[in-house]
């Protein structure tokens, strides 16, 4: 299974020759939240909050949290009902709730700032209550990507470091009040017989197994550079992640490095009780990988499916697993296709549906019941397509198990908002119950 | 199950005369009891993070006297739980109670540990959980055990809210018709492990509510208390090895 890091990188570089534009990733939907988070929305979500990259010359040009009414019974269904600008353009990318789902942490991949939005007091009107700026100085890491709720804490998966701005990075832990607690390096040495590359991206925890998985992408020098330049630079193409790390969550120590070539991005655990596997998609090789526990208790990674035609570089980005673990949505950025895979047999995923959902598509989020699917377009400011292909939208769909039907669309360019990236859902609190406003 | 446990669960399940209207909502974000499909790392082979200082406040003891919360969160390793005496959520308070009983039994099996550990239960509903009510609860939970188990309540929801806010205990406030705070509604089960200096070192939500893990964490904090480490049940050579890893 294990292939050398060098050979896999060379093959990745070969695949990408001639590629003009491509993308990165994220995690988002209701089925991929931290298992430590309370208040999963298992009915109709009321709002979608979209962490949106500011674009120079468009509106105020700043990154902003855009709130969209997505309750079909509302008079403002499918409309932008609010926008909170953070007053800077720092490469807005991903977000994550705190364990109480009342605060949304949103990071900038370029400026490494983290904005904490209060979405609990009034979900329809988020507001910034804190800005965390000490990630680089406290941890040495930059590019905060994944925000993963642990009890009373947020674990941040980073993409880069503030020394050479390459891909070697780690995890930073903060408490919910925004105070730095600890840092954990992604391993660069050999763990379990496989050499680590030190790269980071997503975080996913299975509490019943005491296992945390982290995946690997690339550093600031690549993700903040034009993709056209990156793919033409053989040296740059060597610097993409090719590992998934298995951690003992309790001790926060790596126990295995798994070889997963091609920049494995989002990781999704099967959510049903008793399941012992997760999946990830390798962006550059267009493969779905299964990460499963062996009878002996160790973990193994196995390539189980191909997404689209790898020679055409579809570039799978975000994935979203269904609540029962039997289906997987996959967006491919370059061809703008949303794919559905039947995961009933995770060893042999089968693509059963696909739909062209945009000129470029990145994030895909689904409701807990799987009946609603949302997609956004932007990948990274310097990796998005250009000209007419630079479509910047959020599209809502209904899913009846057979086909996606468009239900609304928000054009973020027309609305002067920017590039829509990560989505998170909120719901109005129950009547007669007022949430405690921790920020006051 | 022992008679004590049955009695405790009966109290926790709210079948000893608590008005039906007082029963809280079921936690909305949880579905199943925690599973543990792994062997937890041994005590002392890992370090618990220093998450945040435990907050301080003036609360009430079972006799109705004002007491400082910090007096109950320092000096010993403290396992703090917010609770209702009448909670009926099957995967809320009763589960927490069963977990505490399991942990207490484990603590009792480690030589010298019981004197270094305290359980602390703070009521989430000072309206119904009066000093007299928590006194009954304390008497019940302390029966047949020498482990210190203190129970506190507050004068009012208003007095309690800053404590909950600082710990990050997720609740919402049920409002009376006049808009005043009537009672809290528990949204997420949490336990807080606090070291002898008053620093929160671990927080257990439902997915983490694993008695074996909690016991190992308590022992890990116990091993940090160097002068007291000699009381450990562990053989000297193993204790030295563990202490070296901590150092």
Higher pLDDT, A13 or A92: A92
- In this predicted structure, what is the pLDDT of residue A267? 97
Q: Specify the DSSP element, H or E, that contains B6.
A: helix B3-12
- In this predicted structure, what is the pLDDT of residue B19? 32
Q: How confident is the model at residue B186 (pLDDT cuts 50, 70, 90)?
A: low
Please write the tens of the pLDDT for every residue from B220-232.
999 998 655 454 4
B61 touches chain A (CB under 8 A): no
- Mean pLDDT over the full length of chain B: 79
CATH of residue A257: 2.120.10
- In this predicted structure, what is the pLDDT of residue B84? 86
Question: Residue A25 domain-assigned?
Answer: yes
Mean pLDDT on A75-102: 96
Interface of A with B in 232-251 (CB under 8 A): 248, 250-251
Q: Note whether A36 contacts B29, CB cutoff 8 Å.
A: no
Sequence-distant (6+) residues with CB within 8 A of B87 are: B12, B13, B14, B24, B93, B94, B186
- Domain tally, chain B: 1
- In this predicted structure, what is the pLDDT of residue A34? 61
Contacts of A102 in chain B (CB under 8 A): 170
- In this predicted structure, what is the pLDDT of residue A36? 60
Question: Residue B153 domain-assigned?
Answer: yes
- Domain tally, chain A: 1
Q: Which of A134-143, B61-70, B121-130 has the lowest mean pLDDT?
A: B121-130
- In this predicted structure, what is the pLDDT of residue B239? 41
Q: Which of B30-34, B58-62, B207-211 has the lowest mean pLDDT?
A: B30-34
Contacts of A40 in chain B (CB under 8 A): 28-29
- Measure the CA–CA gap between A275 and B207, rounded to whole angstroms: 15
Question: Residue B186 domain-assigned?
Answer: yes
Contact A82, A126 (CB under 8 A): yes
- Mean pLDDT over the full length of chain A: 90
Q: Note whether B188 contacts A207, CB cutoff 8 Å.
A: no
Mean pLDDT on B96-123: 94
Mean pLDDT on A213-219: 98
For the CA atoms of B195, B200, B202, B206, the dihedral, rounded to the nearest 10 degrees, stands at 120
Q: Is the pLDDT of residue A354 over 60?
A: yes
Mean pLDDT on A308-316: 94
Q: Note whether B213 contacts A151, CB cutoff 8 Å.
A: no
Q: Is the pLDDT of residue A8 over 80?
A: no
B170 touches chain A (CB under 8 A): yes
Question: Residue B197 domain-assigned?
Answer: yes
- In this predicted structure, what is the pLDDT of residue B209? 85
Question: Residue A346 domain-assigned?
Answer: no
- Measure the CA–CA gap between B115 and B69, rounded to whole angstroms: 19
- In this predicted structure, what is the pLDDT of residue B208? 82
Question: Residue A407 domain-assigned?
Answer: no
Question: Residue B39 domain-assigned?
Answer: no
The boundaries of the domain holding residue B136 are 3-20+48-246
CATH of residue B123: 3.40.30.10
ipTM passes above 0.95: no
List the single residue in A with minimal CA-CA distance to B46. Answer: A251
- In this predicted structure, what is the pLDDT of residue A147? 98
Q: Is the pLDDT of residue A323 over 70?
A: yes
Q: How many CA atoms lie within 13 A of A228 on its CB side?
A: 6
B37 touches chain A (CB under 8 A): yes
Q: Please list, residue by residue across A44-65, b when 16 or more beta carbons sit within 10 angstroms of its beta carbon and e when fewer do.
A: bbbbbbbbbbbbeebbebbbbb
The boundaries of the domain holding residue A197 are 5-312
A403 touches chain B (CB under 8 A): no
Contact A351, A288 (CB under 8 A): no
Question: Residue A419 domain-assigned?
Answer: no
Question: Residue B30 domain-assigned?
Answer: no
Please write the tens of the pLDDT for every residue from A380-424.
999 999 999 999 999 999 999 999 999 999 999 999 999 999 999
- In this predicted structure, what is the pLDDT of residue A38? 65
Q: Is the pLDDT of residue B13 over 80?
A: no
B26 touches chain A (CB under 8 A): no
- In this predicted structure, what is the pLDDT of residue B225? 87
- Measure the CA–CA gap between B184 and A288, rounded to whole angstroms: 46
- Measure the CA–CA gap between A123 and A80, rounded to whole angstroms: 13
Question: Residue B27 domain-assigned?
Answer: no
Q: Say how far residue A57 (Cα) sits from the centre of its chain.
A: 27
Please write the tens of the pLDDT for every residue from A424-433.
999 987 654 4
Q: How confident is the model at residue A272 (pLDDT cuts 50, 70, 90)?
A: confident
Question: Residue B28 domain-assigned?
Answer: no
Percent of chain B with pLDDT over 70: 72
Question: Residue A326 domain-assigned?
Answer: no
């Amino acid at each position: 299974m294990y292939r050398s890091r060098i050979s896999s990188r060379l093959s990745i570089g070969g695949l990408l020759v001639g590629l003009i534009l491509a993308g990165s990733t994220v995690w988002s939907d209701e089925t991929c939240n931290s298992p430590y988070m309370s208040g999963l929305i298992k009915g109709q979500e009321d709002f979608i909050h979209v962490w949106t990259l500011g674009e120079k010359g468009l509106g105020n040009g700043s990154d902003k949290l855009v709130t969209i009414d997505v309750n079909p019974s509302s008079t403002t269904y499918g409309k932008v009902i609010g926008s909170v600008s953070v007053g800077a353009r720092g490469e807005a990318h991903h977000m994550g709730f705190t364990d109480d789902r009342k605060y949304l942490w949103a990071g900038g991949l370029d400026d490494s700032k983290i904005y904490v939005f209060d979405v609990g007091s009034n979900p329809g009107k988020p507001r910034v209550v804190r800005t965390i700026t000490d990630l680089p100085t406290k941890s040495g890491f930059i590019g905060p990507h994944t925000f993963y709720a642990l009890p009373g804490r947020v674990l941040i998966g980073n993409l880069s470091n503030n020394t050479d701005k390459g891909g070697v990075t780690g995890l930073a832990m903060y408490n919910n009040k925004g105070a730095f607690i600890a840092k954990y390096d992604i391993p660069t040495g050999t763990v379990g017989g496989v050499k680590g590359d030190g790269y980071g991206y997503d975080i996913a925890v299975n509490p019943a197994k005491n296992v945390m998985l982290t995946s690997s992408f690339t550093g600031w020098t690549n993700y903040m550079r034009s993709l056209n330049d990156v793919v033409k630079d053989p040296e740059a193409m060597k610097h993409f992640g090719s590992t998934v790390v298995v951690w003992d969550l309790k001790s926060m120590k790596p126990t295995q490095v798994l070889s997963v070539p091609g920049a494995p991005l989002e990781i999704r655990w099967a959510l049903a009780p008793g399941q012992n596997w997760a999946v990830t998609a390798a962006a550059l090789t267009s493969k779905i990988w299964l990460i499963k526990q062996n009878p002996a208790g160790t973990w193994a990674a196995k390539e189980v499916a191909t997404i689209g035609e790898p020679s055409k570089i579809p570039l799978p980005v975000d994935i979203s697993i269904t609540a029962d673990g039997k289906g997987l949505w996959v967006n491919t950025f370059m061809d703008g296709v949303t794919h559905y895979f039947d995961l009933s047999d995770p060893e042999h995923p089968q693509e059963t549906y696909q739909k062209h959902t945009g000129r470029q598509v990145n994030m895909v989020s689904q409701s807990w019941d799987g009946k609603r699917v949302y997609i956004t377009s932007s990948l990274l400011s310097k990796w998005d397509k250009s000209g007419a292909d630079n479509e910047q939208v959020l599209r809502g769909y209904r899913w009846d198990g057979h086909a996606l039907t468009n239900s609304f669309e928000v054009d973020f360019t027309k609305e002067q908002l920017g590039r829509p990236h990560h989505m998170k859902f909120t719901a109005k609190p129950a009547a007669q119950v007022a949430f405690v406003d921790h920020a006051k | 199950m022992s008679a004590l446990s049955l009695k405790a669960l009966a109290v926790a399940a709210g079948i000893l005369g608590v008005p039906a209207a007082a029963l809280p909502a079921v936690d909305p974000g949880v579905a199943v009891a925690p599973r543990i499909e792994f062997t937890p790392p041994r005590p002392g082979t890992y370090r618990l993070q220093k998450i945040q200082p435990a907050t301080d406040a003036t609360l009430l003891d079972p006799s109705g006297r004002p007491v400082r919360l910090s007096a109950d969160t320092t000096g010993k390793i403290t396992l703090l739980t917010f609770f209702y005496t009448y909670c009926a959520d099957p995967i809320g308070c009763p589960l927490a109670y069963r977990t505490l009983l399991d942990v207490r039994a484990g603590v009792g099996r480690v030589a010298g540990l019981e004197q270094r550990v305290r359980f602390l239960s703070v009521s989430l509903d000072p309206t119904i959980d009066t000093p007299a009510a928590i006194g009954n609860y304390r008497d019940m939970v302390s029966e047949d055990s020498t482990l210190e188990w203190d129970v506190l309540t507050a004068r009012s929801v208003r007095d309690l809210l800053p404590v909950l806010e600082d710990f990050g205990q997720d609740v919402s406030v049920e409002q009376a018709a006049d808009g005043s705070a009537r009672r809290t509604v528990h949204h997420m089960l949490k336990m807080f492990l606090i070291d002898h200096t008053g620093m929160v070192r671990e927080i257990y939500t439902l997915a983490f509510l694993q008695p074996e893990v909690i016991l190992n964490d308590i022992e890990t904090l116990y091993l940090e208390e160097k002068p007291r480490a000699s009381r450990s049940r562990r053989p000297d050579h193993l204790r030295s090895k563990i202490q070296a890893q901590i150092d």
